[in-house]
A = this chain, B = another copy of it.
Amino acid sequence: MYCKDVPKRVDHEQRRAEIVRALWTVINGRGIEGVTYQAVAGAAGISVGRVQHYFDSKEELVRAGCRAIVERATRTYSERVRSLDPWSALLELLTEPIPRTETFRRGAAVWYAYIARGVVDPEIGEIVSDASRGTVAEAASLLESAHAPPSEAERLVGLSNGLTQRVLIGATTSEEALTILRDEVAGLKARSA
């Protein structure tokens, strides 16, 4: 049984990702203000000391959870648009945040908790607004590649953000939101042709 003496290989990044997922569960149930080391450790099924080993402070953990959402969305988007033309990529960029499943809704709910928190917490606010400006920059770059006015980017991303919010609170359906965004991009494409 020599294995016993070999130190268990711990994948640092994977452990951090597991703790971040437990953090999201806590945020869904108790909000960002309700996050404690105890609650996250409980949700992750590990000790408080273990959580503290990976995250020096509760604030660092909360910020890491916000950055992880941004990174995941960026990765998903990059993979999806790899072989798409600029118009299709733009449509993907604008429609990707619209919640279409319950899991997706829960993820979006955590993101909205961060947006609400970002209004009163400058460090969270910076992560959220940087991500948001990045989306506008990407939209502007795609519009430029498609020979359409990049100045439309802010309006298009604003529309996508607002419709995402409306689907999330149940004020409209994902189908209606997707139709509006598709029509918007198709109209812009027709005018730019």
Contacts and interface: CB of A to CB of B under 8 A. Distances in A.
Interface residues of A, number: 45
Interface of A: 28-34, 105, 108-109, 112-113, 115-120, 125, 128-129, 132-133, 136, 154-155, 157-166, 168-172, 176-177, 180, 184
18 contacts: A31-B33, A105-B119, A109-B119, A113-B116, A115-B169, A118-B169, A119-B168, A128-B169, A129-B169, A129-B170, A132-B166, A154-B176, A155-B184, A159-B159, A161-B162, A161-B166, A162-B163, A162-B164
A128 B169 CA distance: 7
DSSP class of A's interface residues: helix, strand, loop or mixed? helix
A113 B33 CA distance: 11
Contact of A34 (B28, B33, B157, B159): B33
A35 to B, nearest CB: 10
Contact of A133 (B117, B171, B180): B171
